[in-house]
Chain A
Amino acid sequence: MDPIIILQAGVASGTVLLFAALGEVLAERSGVLNLGVEGMMLIGAMSAFSVTIATGNPWIGVLVAMFVAGLLSQIHAFIVITLQADQVVSGLALTLVGAGISLVLGEGLSKAGTVSLMPNFSIPLLSQIPILGPILFTRQSVLVYIGYLLTPLAWYYINHTRPGLHLRAVGEYPAAADALGINVFRMRYMYVFVGGMLAGLGGATISLAVAPGWFSELTTGGQGWIAVGLVIFAQWDPIRAALGSYAFGALRRLILDIQAPLTLFGMDNPFYYNPYWGFFLQMLPYAFTVIVLVIGSREAIRKRLGAPAALGEPYIRGERGK
């Protein structure tokens, strides 16, 4: 129950949520709600693991995972952007399809044994910083460091670059963006693809770094849905999404660690002596997601913040009043 270790492992396992949440932030900022994150993560985790077994190179596994998940996301993109169907139901369908394909193609992978994982290393100098060094920069997976870079990049891209401005325009007021000559349809396809790739990267982070292996649907265990919830809590802001992801990662680790020691704060550890209480601990990430949603929604009402105005709406050229 060393808090440093819990936070260190929390950052690692939070990186899974971080990638998925960043991808969903980008897709939703363009106006497309994609509830298929869980399915895309599963297919990413499965393909990363199986390609790494086949090639022996985890980097190829990660790249293939991103590409495959991106491809899967294009089913959703076609249905909601071109065919203008309901985004909620299509996202659910994507989750089912992604899970189904992963289960079919991943059959037998759970007995595949060990593979080479993404490398872990410490950053010189930075790892010497007291407290933060051991938590953030010591023996972390390269994917964790990629997460550190991606978060501010995404924030800067969305808020301070021209393409980011276009992205927000497409999500807030597609008709105006269209009038400015921005191709709304192409932008949305693109950001759904990027969102899919990042969800796939999240899945790959599970199977090749955080919890190596393929355990059918338990591999993700609802983390894709938690990521979707985090995006709402984060008010579509990458920095808040990152903080939320790391907090959830730490919580997951704390739940594992709290059951191990004999004593807790000088008393008999109730979770050690009543192992079945662990089931209540397992509820915590899901219960916290609900609580976090309540907090996020209240804040949104108070500050008059909100989702991108066109989120969930198909853009139909020439239709008035939007």
Chain B
Amino acid sequence: MAESTLAKKRTSWRIKLEPRLDEPPAWYPAMVSLGAVVVALILGGVMISVAGGDPFLSYAHIARASFGDIGVLSDTIVKATPIILTALACSVAFRMKLWNIGAEGQFIMGAWGASAIVLAPVLPAETSRWLFIPVMALAGIAAGAAWGFVPGYLKAKFNVNEIISSLMLNYIAISWVNYWVFAVWTEGGFQMSPKFPVGASLPRLSEYADSFPVLRGLTTHGGLLFGIAAAIILWFIVYRSRWGYEIRLIGDNPRAANYAGINIARNTILVMALSGALAGLGGMSEVAGVVRRLQTAPIAAGYGFTGIIVAWLAKLNPLVIILVSILFGALILAGREIQPSGIPKMIQGTILVCLIASDFFLRYRVRIVKGVEE
């Protein structure tokens, strides 16, 4: 920062910025992120009161309605499950500085692909769960991966900006699913397909209530296991495999990666497809675990965009994503009842703004210095 040329006689306090040269201690980034979230919640509270609400009541409501008892905690986890998978999808792409913001569309296509197995029908309704679920998961993964492949291929071949192309594919996916739901698979003209057979649904905890009464009424479903397994596998890929090393190197320094002989175009396509596959699995888990039918596009309900924030807040670490997703699941679950209805979205956006702003404190040391300088 520029030093003042005027030598001041009197002692003054001023803020001084110094670039950080050393690595900050391990706890420091986490504290900065936490601080950013707290600031965001305060700002959100101010905006809630401006809009005529009571911020304390709103936040207390969010806490009670999402962690208050085991029943709502289970619902929170249900909301967190798709977020885990979309956030994982975003994190692996962001790691390579590929801005896949099409997780929403890839999620929707995954839901469609999984539903096609049931509704087309590829497998008969009485198929056992042991066959149905893996086939549906593969179909969801394939449809999501195809939807991620397109922007990846366009980026690798024609240098097409993946932000815009992946986002445009979101809208196309919405229309695509609308067509199938309304024109082909509608149940009596409503905007939903018939209910899936039992074999095509992910088991819920409540199904085991006969043996374990404590599970009665709990909606948490098998999709959570997909999310956790995907997070662990992705952690190994990113931090422990050669491929993950390539991805991280391209993200940090594409020129060095190029000199090292890493094929950037191929990795662009592969990582976008992997990203789409994870989001697509999220879509499968949502149709098979929660709604158990295909509905029109609000099925994704912004999970793709929440995934971006969660990935960023978790510093792209797949295991941290699980924890952060649960917090955002709470926000979404409780947010449904809060009026005006835009508040959860506004708070999410504010959190992301504060998070990005807080990165400044990782790169600079802010010191308040006393004294006369010349």
CB pair A297–B359 under 8 Å, yes or no, is no
Q: How far is the CB of A22 from chain B (nearest CB, A)?
A: 17
- Say what secondary structure dominates the interface of chain B: helix
Q: Is the CB of A103 within 8 A of B168?
A: no
List of B residues within 8 angstroms of A228 by Cβ:
163-164
Q: Indicate if the CB atoms of A83 and B179 lie closer than 8 Å.
A: no
Tally of A-B Cβ pairs under 8 angstroms: 154
The answer to whether A120 has its CB under 8 Å from any CB of chain B is no
Tell me whether A282 and B159 are in contact (CB under 8 A).
no
- B residues 181-206 near A (Cβ < 8 Å) are 182-183
Question: Which residues of B are found within 8 Å of A84, using beta-carbon distances?
Answer: 360, 363
What per-residue 1/0 map shows which CB atoms of A203-236 lie under 8 Å from chain B? 0000000000000000001100110110010000
A105 vs B194: C-alpha distance when bound (angstroms): 37
B226 interfacial contact with A, CB 8 Å: no
CB distance from B123 to the nearest CB of A (A): 26
B357 within 8 A of A: yes
B212 within 8 A of A: no
Q: How far is B350's CA from A225's CA once the two chains are assembled, in angstroms?
A: 20
Max chain B Cβ within 10 angstroms of own Cβ: one of A88, A95, A104, A301 = A104
Asked if A289 contacts B164 (CB within 8 A), the reply is yes
Question: Which residue of chain B is the closest to A99 with respect to CB atoms?
Answer: B345
Which segment of B70-78, B258-266, B335-343 sits at the interface? B335-343
Q: Is the CB of B353 within 8 A of A93?
A: yes
What residue of chain A has the Cβ atom nearest to residue B346's Cβ?
A100
Q: Which residues of B in the span 206-245 have a Cβ within 8 Å of any Cβ on A?
A: none
Residue among B168, B341, B348, B360 making CB contact with A225, cutoff 8 Å:
B168
Which of A101, A105, A277, A290 has the most chain B CB atoms closer than 10 A to its own CB? Answer: A290
> B349 touching A279 by the CB < 8 A rule?
no
Q: Would you give the 0/1 interface string for A119-151, flagging 1 where the beta carbon is closer than 8 Å to chain B?
A: 000000000000000000000000000000000
Does A102 make an interface contact (CB < 8 A)?
A: yes
* Interface residues of A, count at CB 8 A: 53
Contact B359 A294 (CB under 8 A): no
Residue of A nearest to B305 (CB): A96
Q: Identify which of B178, B308, B347 contacts A279 (C-beta below 8 A).
A: B178
Instruction: Please name all residues of chain A whose beta carbon is closer than 8 Å to the beta carbon of B176 when the two chains form the complex.
Output: 279, 283
Complex contact B159–A225 (CB within 8 A) = no
Given contacts A99-B345, A107-B341, contact A83 B359 (CB under 8 A): yes
Chain A 72-88 interface mask (CB, 8 Å, partner B; 1/0): 00010011000111101
Contact of B99 among A88, A286, A294 (CB under 8 A): A88
**Contact of B169 with A290 in the complex, beta carbons under 8 Å:** yes
CB distance A290 to B168 under 8 Å? yes
Min CB distance, B357 to chain A, in Å? 5
**B51 contacts across to A, CB distance below 8 A:** 104-105, 107
B154 within 8 A of A: yes
For A104, list chain B residues within 8 Å (CB). 47, 51, 340, 342-343, 346
Contact B359 A293 (CB under 8 A): no
Which residues of the partner chain B approach A282 to less than 8 Å between Cβ atoms? Answer: 171, 175
Q: Is the CB of B169 within 8 A of A79?
A: no
User: Given contacts A100-B345, A103-B346, A279-B176, are A88 and B163 in contact (CB under 8 A)?
Assistant: yes
Chain A residues positioned under 8 Å from B342 (CB to CB):
99-104, 106-107
Let me know if B171 and A96 touch, CB within 8 A. no
**How many angstroms from the CA of A101 to the CA of B348 in the assembled complex?**
11
Taking a contact as CB atoms closer than 8 A, the residue among B99, B167, B348 that contacts A222 in the complex is B167
Provide the main secondary structure of the chain A interface: helix
| Chain B residue at minimum C-beta to C-beta distance from A87 | B356
Interface status of B131 (Cβ within 8 A of chain A):
no
Does A322 lie at the interface of the complex (its beta carbon under 8 Å from any beta carbon of B)?
Answer: no
Cβ distance B51 to chain A, nearest Cβ, rounded Å: 5
In this complex, the member of B2, B308, B309, B342 whose beta carbon has the largest number of chain A beta carbons within 10 angstroms is: B342
Which B residues are in CB contact (< 8 Å) with A279? 175-176, 178-179, 182-183
User: Which of B168, B171, B308 neighbours the largest number of chain A CB atoms within 10 Å of its CB?
Assistant: B168
Question: Which residues of chain A are within 8 angstroms of B2 by Cβ–Cβ distance?
Answer: 317
Report if A239 contacts B (CB, 8 A): no
- In this assembly, does A97 line the interface, its C-beta being within 8 Å of a C-beta of chain B? yes
- Are B359's CB and A85's CB within 8 A? yes
Output the residue of A78, A100, A287, A300 with the most chain B CB within 10 A.
A100
**Interchain nearest-CB distance for A12 vs B (Å):** 22
From residue 25 to 66 of chain B, which have CB atoms closer than 8 A to chain A? Answer: 47, 51
Contacts of B341 in A (CB 8 A): 103, 107
Is B369 on the interface with A (CB-CB < 8 A)? no
CB–CB A229/B345 < 8 A = no
Is B130 in the interface zone, CB < 8 Å from A?
no
Chain B, 126-164, CB within 8 A of any chain A CB:
154, 158-161, 163-164
CB <8 Å contact, A298 and B158 = yes
A52 at the binding interface (Cβ < 8 Å):
no
> In the bound complex, what is the Cα–Cα distance between A308 and B335 (angstroms)?
41
**CA distance in complex: A98, B353 (Å):** 11
Please tell me if A280 contacts chain B, counting CB pairs below 8 Å.
Answer: yes
A90-B356, A276-B182 known; A101+B172 contact, CB < 8 A: no
Q: Report Cα–Cα, A228/B170, bound state, in Å.
A: 16
Q: Would A79 and B356 be within 8 Å (CB), given that A100-B343, A225-B167 are in contact?
A: yes
Given A100-B344, A107-B339, 10 other A-B residues pairs in contact with their CB atoms under 8 A: A86-B356, A93-B355, A96-B305, A98-B349, A100-B342, A229-B161, A279-B183, A280-B175, A287-B172, A297-B161
The 7 closest A-B pairs by CB, nearest first: A103-B342, A100-B346, A96-B349, A276-B183, A97-B349, A107-B340, A93-B352
A contact set with B: CB distance below 8 Å: 35, 39, 75, 78-79, 83-86, 88-90, 92-107, 221-222, 225-226, 228-229, 232, 274, 276-277, 279-280, 282-283, 286-287, 289-290, 293-294, 297-298, 300-301, 317
Please list 11 pairs of residues, one from A and one from B, whose beta carbons are closer than 8 Å in the complex, sorted by A's number: A92-B305, A93-B355, A93-B356, A96-B346, A100-B350, A103-B345, A107-B339, A222-B171, A228-B164, A274-B183, A280-B179
